[in-house]
Structure formats: C-alpha cells, structure tokens
A and B are shown apart, each in its own frame.
Chain A
Amino acid sequence: MHVLVCGGTGCKTSESDMIAHNLRSALAQHGLSDEVQVVMSGCFGFCEKGPIVKVLPDNIFYVSVKPADATTIVEEHIIKGRPVQHLLYNDPVTGEKITESRKMDFYQQQYRIALRNCGFIDPENIDEAIARDAYQALGKVLTQMTPQEVIDIIKRSGLRGRGGAGFPTGLKWEIASKVPGDEKYVVCNADEGDPGAFMDRSILEGDPHSVLEAMAICGYCIGASQGLIYIRAEYPLAIERLKIAIKQAREYGLLGNNIMGTGFNFDISLCYGAGAFVCGEETALIHSMEGHRGEPTFKPPFPAEKGYKGKPTNVNNVETFANVPAIILNGAEWFASIGTEKSKGTKVFALAGKINNVGLIEVPMGTKLRTVINDIGGGIKNNKKFKAVQIGGPSGGFLTEKHLDTPIDYDSLTEAGSMMGSGGMIVMDESDCMVAMAKFYLDFTVEESCGKCAPCRIGNKRLDEILAKITEGKGTEEDLALLRNLGQVIKDTSLCMLGGSSPNPVLSTLEHFYDEYLAHVRDHRCPAGQCKALVHYYIDPEQCVGCTACARACPVNAIAGERKKPHVIDQLICIKCGTCVEKCKFNAVLVQ
C-alpha cells in the first residue's frame, strides 16, 4: 500500500511533515513498515482542505488531516480496512461523504498536463519521475529528431508562454536557434511574483524533473549547453527540491556531458532572486542574474539576440516548460486538440480570495470563468454574492458578473479587459470595495516599481495618492477623470510591462464599478462598507436586545446603553474596528 502525504508548502505549514512522521512510526509499531510505503508528494491542489492524505490502491482521499489522526488512519484504515469517516470530504451540496478525489467537483472539471505528476510522485525521488516517463521525451528528441523537427512540433502544438504575455513558444525557440553563437543559454523564469499566485512554485515542488527535462530539450533545439533557473530565494522548498532533482539527474547522467550517449551536453544551475516583482520581466531578470540592478531595458535587442552575458538566451516560464515533455511524447496534434482555436492546452490557476475551494487547479483553455468559480471553486464563501474576479495579478483587470461566461483563453480575457497573466485568480465578494482593491494592487506596484522610468515611478505614486484621497472620502469627480487620464499616460509611456500594465486594476474598476467610485466622491459613502473613513457603525434599535455583548467587547467604550434596552454607538469615540459586528448575535450592528 502507498500512503501519499502532501508535501507542498501549504500543507507543510499545516504540519504534514508531522503527519508523515506519525504515520511511519504508527506503521512501524504495528510491523507494517515494509508493506505500507509513506510518500511525501507534491501539491494535490486542494489547498483549502489540506493537509491531504491519499491511500492507494484503496483510492481514499482524506482532507484536513492532523498529525494526531495518523494513528487512527493506521489502526482503522490500514489494519482494519475501514476508511476513517471523519476525515473524508463532505460534498457541500449533497452533504455526502466522498472517498475518491475524481468524484469531487473540485477535480471533475480539471485536466492535468503541467500538474500531471503533482500529488502523485515523490518529487525527491527521480525513480518515481522516471517511472512516469520523465526524460523519455529528451531521449526521443536526442536520438530521433533534429532541433528543427522539435521546434516544428512545439509550433504546431500551439503552446504559448504561460508567464503572462502568451508569446508562441515554438517561435521563440526558433528565433533563438537561428541566432548564430557558440554559447547560448536556456533560462527558466521561476520569479513568480503576483500576489496570491503559486502555480510555478507548486510545479517545481511537485515535479521538478518535468522542468529540467524541458530545459534540456530547449537547449538541444537552440544549441545551448547551459541552463539557469532564476528562482526567488523566498521559495526555500522549491529550491531544495530542485537541488535534489538536479543532483539525482546528474547521477543518472541525464544532465551533464554526453547525455544518453548522444554527445549532447547540458547542465543546469540555480540563480537566486531577491524577490523583486520587476525581475519577472525577462530583461530585468537577465540583468539581475548578471549581478546588476534588476531593471528592464529596451527591446530590441531581445534576449534571443543579446541576453545573459550578451549571449543569445531563451527565457521561458516554469509552466511553459512543464508542458513540453508531454507535447513531445503525445504529439502536437494531441495538445492542439485541447483548448480553443488560438489558445491550446491547459492553464494552471491559483484560486484564492473569497472562494470556498482555495487551491491549485488546471483546466483546459476555453473553460468558462463560471465553471472555475462555481463548480471547481465551490462558489463564494459564506453564501455571499460574487462581485468580481481579478486575473493576472497587479497587471490584470477585474472581471464582473457579466463576464462569467467568458471562456478562459488569452484573447477572450484581453478582450474582456483583463489578461491571462501568470495564473493568479482572486475572487471578491460583495463586501469588497473595488476602490480599495484597486488601491491594494497599486500599493503593490508602487512598492515594486524599479524606479527607472518616470511614468511608473511617479505616475503610479500619484495614482495611489488620488485613490487614498477617494477612500478617505476627500475625493472629487475631477479626480476620477484624472485617474483615467493619468492611468492611460502611464500605460502608453512606460518602458516595460510592469509600468505598462500597472494602471489596469484602476482602469478596469473605473470601467466596471464607476458607480462605486461615484458613491465615494459624491456621497462620501463606501457601498461595500470597507473604507473605514466613510463608514459608520450603528445599532438597529429594532434588532438590539440589549445583551451588552458589544458594549463589553468595545475596546474604546464607545457603546452605551442599559441592559435589555437598545444600545447606541458614540460616533465620536468609535474607531470602526468591527468588534461589535463580530460579537453581536442578533445582526443588530449595521455598517453603512
């Protein structure tokens, strides 16, 4: 028997290490260590219900497991064959217990290519990856195909860059392959910086060999023998697993000199980033790798002509690479049959925000936003109403109710006023103020702007100040026009895409939630009740039973009233902390 324990960063912080340890010791106690194998796997994706433990071949999927449950799993399930009922997943609709992951709504609509091995193999054991065809594609490419044939397959597959811009990968490789040069580089961009995004981290943590193999294939195509992975130092687990994977691949001779006796040499090393958002931009990334400041430079020259150390360099994102071996083994036609006309294959998204099933998902291109949010995501938390979804991180836009039937692909999302981005998907409910959300993203951009160009450095700062003014109730209608105008100027005049897309959250909320902006500047009111300066807490005398719970909890003693009689909040003392709302059992505290 195999017991898989999720070893992704999310589950590890919920002590999945301890779960595995306790499982092993309970098994040893019962003399079952040889029969039952405990494996730390990569991310299962269902982070909301983590830590996940899966028992095979019984195919039982346990959710929200605690270290103390390990003994129960061993004694009840492993020994007596009785699945532990309280650890099974409860279907939120029918209330029934579901034992198999593929019967859960969360997994039913998914199609896993890039995540094919995540949550299935032990990422620290190359043998398990090899058993799942790792390095077969590299072998096939090296022994049976010319670089141009490989490039043609990638081109025909329709694979586009998963880092955000969606540039056709095959074309990128072809350009790099045609540039003359005896020294070229393959770079993997693992500088995942969008707030709330963890797709690349999970792939590297769960299936590092898929990326290493694809980098070697790319090296063969463009004529490079050196690969570099630029990864942020704040991903310690991914770095650790990459190091182990590279070491094991070298030991087998799958990286290094004369790979599989074909005379092809390729090795990979790691380069650590300090976590600057701008370093996800390829020219800034290359400068950072060279030890310079992480600032973008004008393109052309593109990295394909003059990249790392001035040599031709091909930069691809982690998820893009993870798709490559599957395309080589299954064929371009297979990949091109999945997805929409212009966006092929699948896309991994990190679902976060006010949604029931927070986690990592992979869906075919063209899947509707509604399916992702309602079916896979399980709808909005606490039965609240859906308000907006933000795709593409600080560079993306907000989409609303009317966009829910938009198919997820590069072009449809751009057309709807957002962008594919790298795959962060943050869902907001009715209690989120869109002005405050726009400001949240802009705060991030202001912080992360490298400061090279004035429009981004100064313009975003000014945008942020205007938004601050509006959320404090001091804004005017002229400010709204100024926001639009300034936002457009920043977009038009910035050098790189960080500046070029940074006003998107502001512009798209202005477009879709203009009423909310108007309420802030005209009526000095925040409809969602989130902007503290604009809201007032008061007690509905009809609902209040005078239980004094709020008065006792109020940290500034702003609530007065006699027992069993309606209470009153003194607006001059109230600091709008919201404690009274939480304490009131009768929904008598209103926020407006």
Chain B
Amino acid sequence: MTKVKTLDDLIRLRDELRTKLELREKGEHPEQLIQVKVAMATCGIASGAKEVMDYFIDELPKRNIAAVVTQTGCMGYCYAEPTIEVTLPGKEPVVFGYVNKEKADEIIEKYLKAGELVDGIIPQTFKKPN
C-alpha cells in the first residue's frame, strides 16, 4: 500500500477510488442519469447481449458519460435481439434493436452524446398500465 504523504495524495487517491463506488452512488438516484437497459433474457444472451452490455460498461466511463447500465428481462422483440432501452434524463425511453458493438458505438456517439436518433429504433407496440 502506498503511503498518503500529503493532502494532495489523499485527494488523488479519493478521486481514483471514487469510480469504484460510482455505481452505488448513481444507483441511488438513477433518474438523473442516462439509463441503458440491456435485455438479457435467453434470446438476448444467445444473440450476444452480454458482450454488448460489457461494451457499454467498459466504454461509457472511458468516454466520460455518466450512465447506469443495467440488465432487464425479455422486452418481447426477440426477432431484433440484442435489444437495449435507453432513457435520457427527462425523456421517454427509446428501444434499439439489433445492437452489436458497432451499433452500440453509434448509439453512444450520436444518441447518448448529442440526442440524435439513429436507425434501428423499435416503435413501441404496446401500452403499459398507468
């Protein structure tokens, strides 16, 4: 363990360690952040949803985007797996289908960063109670 020799050392150490707890802090107030839900039912996993989820988890911090990535169950669009649902703060959720790493990259760059919609949106075909 390296010694903390000055207050600056401590601040640096805190900032480094903070990322490890970020997930917990963000989880407490998810509505203020971008939420990415990856459909991880059998169909999704078989089509590579886990790789897509890992990609989001790895890439978002690298590109300095504060977001919460979680998994969810089958959204019903099994033909278009892997599917993800993205909710920007204050906006309606948008579902994207056929998301591979390249698509994920495009979604991050265009929709997450600039709010620009990209191809592959699945129109909502159902209503939810309430």
Q: Kindly state the separation between the CA atoms of A253 and B39 in the bound complex, as whole angstroms.
A: 46
Q: Kindly state the separation between the CA atoms of A127 and B17 in the bound complex, as whole angstroms.
A: 6
Residues in chain B near residue A136, CB distance under 8 A: 10-11, 14
Residues in chain A near residue B27, CB distance under 8 A: 2, 56-59
Q: Which residue of A lies closest to B35 (CB)?
A: A57
Answer whether residue B61 sits at the interface, using C-beta atoms and an 8 A cutoff.
no
Answer whether residue B71 sits at the interface, using C-beta atoms and an 8 A cutoff.
yes
Residues in chain A near residue B57, CB distance under 8 A: 35
Contact digits for B1-36, partner A, Cβ 8 Å, 1 yes 0 no: 111111101110110011011011011101000000
B20 near A253: Cβ-Cβ < 8 Å: no
Answer whether residue B40 sits at the interface, using C-beta atoms and an 8 A cutoff.
yes
Partner of A143, one of B7, B13, B14, B69: B7
Interface size on B, residues (CB 8 A): 34
Q: Which of B1, B2, B24: most chain A Cβ within 10 A?
A: B24
B10 near A131: Cβ-Cβ < 8 Å: no
Q: Kindly state the separation between the CA atoms of A1 and B53 in the bound complex, as whole angstroms.
A: 12
Q: Kindly state the separation between the CA atoms of A128 and B9 in the bound complex, as whole angstroms.
A: 16
- Distance from B89 Cβ to chain A, minimum over Cβ atoms (Å): 15
B10 near A130: Cβ-Cβ < 8 Å: yes
Answer whether residue B108 sits at the interface, using C-beta atoms and an 8 A cutoff.
no
- Distance from A133 Cβ to chain B, minimum over Cβ atoms (Å): 7
Residues in chain A near residue B18, CB distance under 8 A: 131
Answer whether residue A564 sits at the interface, using C-beta atoms and an 8 A cutoff.
no
Residues in chain A near residue B72, CB distance under 8 A: 81
Contact flag A81-B71 (CB < 8 Å), given A127-B17, A139-B10 = yes
Partner of A253, one of B3, B14, B54, B69: B3
Answer whether residue B70 sits at the interface, using C-beta atoms and an 8 A cutoff.
yes
Q: Which of A130, A133, A136, A253: most chain B Cβ within 10 A?
A: A130
B40 near A252: Cβ-Cβ < 8 Å: no
Residues in chain B near residue A79, CB distance under 8 A: 40, 71
Contact flag A253-B4 (CB < 8 Å), given A81-B71, A121-B21, A260-B9 = yes
**Docked complex: B34-89 residues within 8 A CB-CB of A:** 37, 39-41, 54, 57, 68-73
**Docked complex: A119-159 residues within 8 A CB-CB of B:** 120-121, 127-128, 130-133, 135-136, 139-140, 142-143
Partner of B7, one of A4, A130, A133, A140: A140
Q: Kindly state the separation between the CA atoms of A1 and B69 in the bound complex, as whole angstroms.
A: 9
Answer whether residue A102 sits at the interface, using C-beta atoms and an 8 A cutoff.
yes
Answer whether residue A251 sits at the interface, using C-beta atoms and an 8 A cutoff.
yes
Answer whether residue A261 sits at the interface, using C-beta atoms and an 8 A cutoff.
yes
Residues in chain A near residue B24, CB distance under 8 A: 2, 4, 56-57, 120
- Distance from B54 Cβ to chain A, minimum over Cβ atoms (Å): 8
Residues in chain A near residue B11, CB distance under 8 A: 136, 139
Residues in chain B near residue A59, CB distance under 8 A: 27-28, 30
Q: Kindly state the separation between the CA atoms of A2 and B27 in the bound complex, as whole angstroms.
A: 10
Residues in chain B near residue A261, CB distance under 8 A: 5-6
Residues in chain B near residue A57, CB distance under 8 A: 23-24, 26-27, 30, 68-70
A260 near B40: Cβ-Cβ < 8 Å: no
Residues in chain A near residue B37, CB distance under 8 A: 81
Answer whether residue A498 sits at the interface, using C-beta atoms and an 8 A cutoff.
no
Q: Kindly state the separation between the CA atoms of A121 and B18 in the bound complex, as whole angstroms.
A: 12
Answer whether residue A292 sits at the interface, using C-beta atoms and an 8 A cutoff.
no
B23 near A128: Cβ-Cβ < 8 Å: no
Q: Kindly state the separation between the CA atoms of A303 and B28 in the bound complex, as whole angstroms.
A: 44
Residues in chain A near residue B41, CB distance under 8 A: 80-81
Residues in chain A near residue B73, CB distance under 8 A: 80-82
17 CB contacts below 8 A, A to B, read A2-B27, A56-B24, A57-B23, A57-B26, A57-B69, A80-B71, A81-B40, A102-B28, A128-B21, A130-B13, A131-B17, A131-B18, A131-B21, A135-B10, A248-B1, A253-B3, A260-B4
Shortest 5 CB-CB contacts between residues of A and residues of B? A57-B27, A56-B27, A139-B7, A131-B17, A253-B3
Q: Please give 5 more A-B residue pairs, beta carbons under 8 A apart, in addition to A127-B20, A135-B4, A136-B11.
A: A56-B27, A56-B28, A82-B73, A248-B1, A251-B1
Q: Spell out B's residues near A (CB within 8 Å).
A: 1-7, 9-11, 13-14, 17-18, 20-21, 23-24, 26-28, 30, 37, 39-41, 54, 57, 68-73
